[in-house]
């Protein structure tokens, strides 16, 4: 269900498995409840969230003061988040910026619009993984629901195994979206947490080698420019 990456008296960072809900989901206890029970914690407060289908780095506060300080960093967009995804479709561009408002679609998901009143903002790079597969490094600057999944669909490259946005997901073992790295500040010091994906047929050793070669230090890359007024 999860693996502990870093733990202090103030916060906890875990690597969440795909298919695990943050909170109680029908018969399942939910990640928050399970971690609290496993570690005998009196409090465990999520300061951001991941979709059930998404694996990877997830930050929790251990007390209300830490939750307030960390939540403020997220609200001010001071936390850097990096995700990895795989698609079996060729994108319109190999790298770039995806900006647009999001609204509900008829099928219960979301879609990207051309308007930019309160837009979702995503930067991305991509590189060839193998024949017919492409690896994406994504940096969201906003936290809209399904933002990255919708962003890649808008580029013509829906995420492999994403049953909601990819028309051919049957037989794929998971949705190939992983929260790869998180950078925030605590006690005046920068904290960087990084956890390469390990769960899934296509997140294999060759994929992890490619990540190490191209995306080992995601914050140091020359990211596409964000238009003035949207940063």
What is the tens place of the pLDDT at every residue in 119-161? 999 999 999 998 899 999 999 999 999 999 999 999 999 999 9
Backbone angles phi, psi at 36, to 5 degrees: -55, -45
- Do you know the residue count of the chain? 231
Active site residues: 51
Residue 225 has pLDDT above 80, yes or no: yes
Question: In the prediction, which pLDDT does 60 show?
Answer: 98
pTM, to two decimals: 0.95
Task: Report pLDDT for 118.
Answer: 95
Q: Would you say 201 and 208 are in contact if contact means Cβ atoms under 8 Å apart?
A: no
The reported pLDDT for the residue numbered 28 is 62
Name residue 15's beta-bridge partners. 3, 57
Residue 229 has what pLDDT? 67
Domain boundaries, the chain: 2-220
Residue range 151-209, pLDDT digits in tens: 999 999 999 999 999 988 889 999 999 999 999 999 999 999 999 999 999 999 999 99
Write down the H helix ranges in 44-146.
64-75
Q: Percent of the chain having pLDDT more than 90? A: 88
- Angle at alpha carbon of residue 11, lines to 33 and 85, rounded to 5°: 75
Q: Which residues of 100-121 are buried (b: 16+ CB within 10 A; e: fewer)?
A: bebeeeeeebbbbeeeeeebbb
Return the minimum-mean-pLDDT range out of 45-59, 126-140, 183-197, 215-229. 215-229
Q: What is the mean pLDDT of residues 55-83?
A: 97
pLDDT at residue number 230: 66
Which CATH number is associated with domain 2-220? 3.30.2350.10
- pLDDT over 70 (residue 27): no
Beta strands in 47-165 (DSSP E): 55-61, 80-87, 96-100, 102-104, 110-112, 120-130, 133-140
60 forms beta bridges with 12, 46
Q: What is the pLDDT of residue 228?
A: 73
Average pLDDT, the chain: 94
Average pLDDT rounded to a whole number, residues 74-95: 96
Give the Cβ contact number of residue 149 at 10 Å. Answer: 23
pLDDT at 5: 97
């Amino acid at each position: 269900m999860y693996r502990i990456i870093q733990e202090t008296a103030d916060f906890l960072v875990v690597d969440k498995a795909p298919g695990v809900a943050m909170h109680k989901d029908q018969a399942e206890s939910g990640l928050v409840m399970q971690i609290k029970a496993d570690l005998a914690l009196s409090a465990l407060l999520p300061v951001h969230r991941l979709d059930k289908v998404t694996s990877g780095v997830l930050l929790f506060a251990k007390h209300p003061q830490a939750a307030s300080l960390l939540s403020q960093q997220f609200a001010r967009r001071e936390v850097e988040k990096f995700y990895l995804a795989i698609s079996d479709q060729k994108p319109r561009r190999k790298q770039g910026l995806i900006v647009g408002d999001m609204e509900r679609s008829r099928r219960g998901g979301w879609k990207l619009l051309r308007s930019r009143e309160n837009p979702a903002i995503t930067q991305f790079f991509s590189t060839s993984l193998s024949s017919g597969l492409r690896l994406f490094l994504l940096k969201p600057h906003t936290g809209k629901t399904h933002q990255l999944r919708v962003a890649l669909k808008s580029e013509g490259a829906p995420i492999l195994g994403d049953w909601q946005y990819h028309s051919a997901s049957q037989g794929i073992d998971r949705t190939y979206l992983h929260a790869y790295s998180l950078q925030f500040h605590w006690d005046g010091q920068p904290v960087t947490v990084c956890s390469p994906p390990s769960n899934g047929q296509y997140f294999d050793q060759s994929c992890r080698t490619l990540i190490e070669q191209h995306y080992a230090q995601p914050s140091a890359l020359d990211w596409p420019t964000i238009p003035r007024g949207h940063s």
